[in-house]
Structure 1
Amino acid sequence: MPIAAPTFPAPLQSTLSLSKLSQFDLTPSIGTEFSKETQISALLSNPVAIRDLSILIAQRGVVFFRDQDLTTEQQKIFIDKLGRESGRPAESSFHIHPLTPTSSELGDEVLKIVPAFGFRDMLEQPSNLPRASGGWHSDITFEPFPSNYAALKLTTIPKVGGDTLWASGYEAYDRLSPALQQFLATLTATHSGEAFKKVKSINIRSPRGHPENAGDDLLAVHPVIRTNPVTGWKSLYVNKAFTKRINELSLDESDHLLSYLFAHINQNHDLQVRFKWKEGSLAVWDNRSTFHTVTNDYGKENREGNRVISIGERPYYDPNSISRREALRDGAGSDLA
């Protein structure tokens, strides 16, 4: 019998229910901020608004809210509803990070963000500090079913510094030549979280938000070009922290190509947005189509917060999907706020 062609979900369409809320884009390709009058806590009982917000986040990559009264429990409810309303698999739930201690007062499903491990020790010898560009990543791509949405609310903010940067995977894809785009679409890459095993406080649980996120390997294989099911847009899906090898290439070829793609992401500052945190700020992003990194420039001050991650679908590439630029040119992205 002939093998049936794979079927992929159709992109979601916004009802534009958020258009009356005050908001503005921070850059042309990534980042939208709502005015402080918009409270996520007030939207939790409105499934249409949550669904439209999931679409906006998927389109703009990352969305910011100021002066939020959202509790940690409401943050969990919010990120869970974003995934549910946008069609995540029924088996998917919250991710349990390997660095979340069993005794965490916030529970397994909340990762407490603290200053980078070992960073303060390296401050005594600045020459040992890694390049800031080395921190770019998409969350937990070492899982077979990685993250769709993530939300971070900082509880302790340094007086100066500690900004977070996000980069657009859509724009990173669009900047590549058509020939390279076509070649990358034929490739897969291995992602690894093995580095976490060097941390003394590691506590690997199973499963971690999906039945297939199990075991201690912390390894997964994903397409180099990924289709976001919410938008139907193509995104570059490799990151410096977790992507270790392009499987179809020799080791030398893989290393050189990944080095180029990582530089393509971190050196093109015009596909990035930089967010300056204030007390009560909340950032919500789509891990399928963005990369992010903290700016470790706040010395020995505290920078702490709570992050919640929802698990999405297994990454896939739909050859019939289009790029963000094609969508905007053809009017398919006309509901962008």
Structure 2
Amino acid sequence: MGLQVKELPKQTPLESRKPRSDYYYISEESSKLAKHPEWIPTWDLNQEKRFENWEPFRHTDRGYFGDPTFDSLFADADVKTRKLTPRLGTEITGVQLSSLTPRQKDDLALLVEQRGVVVFREQDFKNQSFEDIKNWGKYFGPLHIHPTSGIPAGHPELHIIFRRGGKESTKQFFANKLNSSTWHSDITYETQTPGVTLFGMLQTDVGGDTQFLDTIVAYERLSPTFQKLIDGLKVVHSSREQALHAKENGGIERKPVIDSIHPLVRYHPVLKKKALFVNRGFSRRILGLKEEESEALLQFLFHHIETCLDAHIRAQWDDKTVTVWDNRRLLHTATIDWDDDTLRHAFRLTTLAERPIASEEEFNEWTPEAEKEELDKKEETLSLTPAEFYEKYYKKD
């Protein structure tokens, strides 16, 4: 069979080839740039709609078991830590993530939740086996399988980022855009969304930083009046556009499209704080509001969050850096700021956490059984008019 060329989804904006009937690969030219060919992304057509979205489960957050002194995690005398800002982000050397004990992993979970994002230098994570990496992540929660992204062949739990530079590629990217910022929290369309997330760099050069922004601070900046206005509102998060985009560009859908209803203001059960839980990538409409009202409020919140750069850090990469963050409280964006023909090749391991909830009371009362009942009537809920939704969910006796 001759090679058939098709475009891949824009998250991997490269030409692809189809050497046999059941796999898409990146081009041979691009493959030759990879220093770690075992991590090259593939798309297995046999995985089309093969996986289901997670059934409701009770999450056990390892942060509850962490020691706030972090004595176990920082026991080695060679450990060095540096705060990136007073409230957000820490950089660490002297801790090898792949070698952590269960007790140290509990400390790690608490540290990541308290600091939001932790940047680890001099890591050997990428040299571990795929199974060892996945088993490491399972300690923190079930592993997410991305519906559309490239994966190392046979390992759908590992999401691959493979982005090549070049003046023509950069010019094309910015042809219709003023900047490369796409602030988001990962896969918030899932019923139970990510908590601890690991991102390991395989190959990079100067540029391509990842920026992080704290939505706890973004919520706390709002006036008490505005906080009261939005507390309790519900937002629809959807995978529809992502799935459609992937199919239009030659990709696959490993799971059915999903729409989920989440609180606009989310309660973090370990930190006992509230955060804004909306992002341009997946938040589509606020239930109980008319279209124009929902759009105006969402656009205000998006603009507020994305300009809150005094609650922000910028993580710089080298090929031995691993970053771990809490997807419940942070938004992040890639930075497309290089135009030479160098490669940014990385992987993401995403663990699922609790169902997003609006308050401590709701968290304590939540059960998988009650959640299943809500999911069974989700389509009916989504079809309610703003007035009907208000009467059923917002109106107080």
Counterpart of 1:12 in structure 2: which amino acid? Y
RMSD of Structure 2 on Structure 1 (CA)? 2.6
| Aligned residue in 1 for 2:239 | 193
2:96 to 25, 35, 39: 39
- Structure with greater contact order relative to length (CA < 8 Å, sep ≥ 6): 1
The alpha carbon displacement at 1:19 in A equals 5.0
Uncovered stretches (5+) of structure 1, i.e. residues with no partner: 1-7, 84-92, 207-215, 322-337
Counterpart of 2:120 in structure 1: which amino acid? F
| Aligned residue in 1 for 2:146 | 97
User: Take 1:114 and 1:19, find their aligned partners in 2: how far apart are those partners?
Assistant: 33
Please list, as runs of the form range in 1=range in 2, the aligned pairs for 1:54-133 lying within 5 A after superposition.
54-70=109-125, 71=128, 73=130, 74-83=132-141, 93-101=142-150, 104-105=152-153, 107-115=155-163, 121=169, 123-124=171-172, 126-133=174-181
User: Take 1:130 and 1:146, find their aligned partners in 2: how far apart are those partners?
Assistant: 30
* 8 A contact 2:164–2:342 mirrored in 1: no
The alpha carbon displacement at 1:270 in A equals 0.8
| Aligned residue in 2 for 1:157 | 204
Counterpart of 1:142 in structure 2: which amino acid? Y
Counterpart of 1:257 in 2: which secondary structure?
Answer: helix
| Aligned residue in 1 for 2:289 | 249
User: Take 2:74 and 2:225, find their aligned partners in 1: how far apart are those partners?
Assistant: 38
* 8 A contact 1:12–1:231 mirrored in 2: no
User: Take 1:280 and 1:227, find their aligned partners in 2: how far apart are those partners?
Assistant: 34
The alpha carbon displacement at 1:141 in A equals 0.3
| Aligned residue in 1 for 2:349 | 308
1:12 aligned onto 2:69: no
Counterpart of 1:34 in structure 2: which amino acid? I
2:106 to 43, 51, 54: 51
Q: What is the TM-score with the length of structure 2 in the denominator?
A: 0.67
Q: What is the TM-score with the length of structure 1 in the denominator?
A: 0.79
User: Take 1:188 and 1:49, find their aligned partners in 2: how far apart are those partners?
Assistant: 36
| Aligned residue in 2 for 1:147 | 194
114 and 72 in structure 1: CA distance in 2 versus 1, 3 angstrom threshold: farther
Q: How many residues align?
A: 290
Uncovered stretches (5+) of structure 2, i.e. residues with no partner: 1-58, 363-397
The alpha carbon displacement at 1:122 in A equals 6.0
226 and 120 in structure 1: CA distance in 2 versus 1, 3 angstrom threshold: farther
User: Take 2:354 and 2:168, find their aligned partners in 1: how far apart are those partners?
Assistant: 36
Q: Which shifted more, 191-200 or 265-274?
A: 191-200
61 and 116 in structure 1: CA distance in 2 versus 1, 3 angstrom threshold: farther
180 and 129 in structure 1: CA distance in 2 versus 1, 3 angstrom threshold: same
* 8 A contact 2:65–2:106 mirrored in 1: no
1:174 aligned onto 2:220: yes
* 8 A contact 1:123–1:129 mirrored in 2: no
Tell me the percent identity: 33
234 and 177 in structure 1: CA distance in 2 versus 1, 3 angstrom threshold: same
223 and 277 in structure 1: CA distance in 2 versus 1, 3 angstrom threshold: same
Counterpart of 1:227 in structure 2: which amino acid? Y
User: Take 1:24 and 1:125, find their aligned partners in 2: how far apart are those partners?
Assistant: 35
1:269 aligned onto 2:309: yes
- State the Cα deviation string for residues 19-45 of structure 1 (Å, max 9, x = none): 55431210122111112x1111221xx
User: Take 1:143 and 1:125, find their aligned partners in 2: how far apart are those partners?
Assistant: 28
The alpha carbon displacement at 1:255 in A equals 1.2
Counterpart of 2:163 in 1: which secondary structure?
Answer: coil
- State the Cα deviation string for residues 183-203 of structure 1 (Å, max 9, x = none): 211201011122222223433
Counterpart of 2:279 in 1: which secondary structure?
Answer: coil
Counterpart of 1:128 in structure 2: which amino acid? N
* 8 A contact 1:142–1:219 mirrored in 2: yes
* 8 A contact 2:80–2:92 mirrored in 1: yes
Counterpart of 1:12 in 2: which secondary structure?
Answer: helix
Counterpart of 1:82 in 2: which secondary structure?
Answer: coil
Q: Which shifted more, 61-70 or 11-20?
A: 11-20
User: Take 2:133 and 2:175, find their aligned partners in 1: how far apart are those partners?
Assistant: 39
The alpha carbon displacement at 1:9 in A equals 9.1
User: Take 1:242 and 1:72, find their aligned partners in 2: how far apart are those partners?
Assistant: 32
249 and 72 in structure 1: CA distance in 2 versus 1, 3 angstrom threshold: farther
The alpha carbon displacement at 1:222 in A equals 0.4
User: Take 2:173 and 2:85, find their aligned partners in 1: how far apart are those partners?
Assistant: 36
The alpha carbon displacement at 1:317 in A equals 1.1
The alpha carbon displacement at 1:116 in A equals 8.6
* 8 A contact 1:101–1:203 mirrored in 2: no
120 and 225 in structure 1: CA distance in 2 versus 1, 3 angstrom threshold: farther
- State the Cα deviation string for residues 247-292 of structure 1 (Å, max 9, x = none): 1222111111111111111112110000110121001111111000
1:184 aligned onto 2:230: yes
183 and 231 in structure 1: CA distance in 2 versus 1, 3 angstrom threshold: same
The alpha carbon displacement at 1:129 in A equals 2.6
| Aligned residue in 2 for 1:330 | none
42 and 125 in structure 1: CA distance in 2 versus 1, 3 angstrom threshold: closer
The alpha carbon displacement at 1:127 in A equals 3.7
Runs of 4+ in 1 over 4 A off after TM superposition: 8-11, 119-122
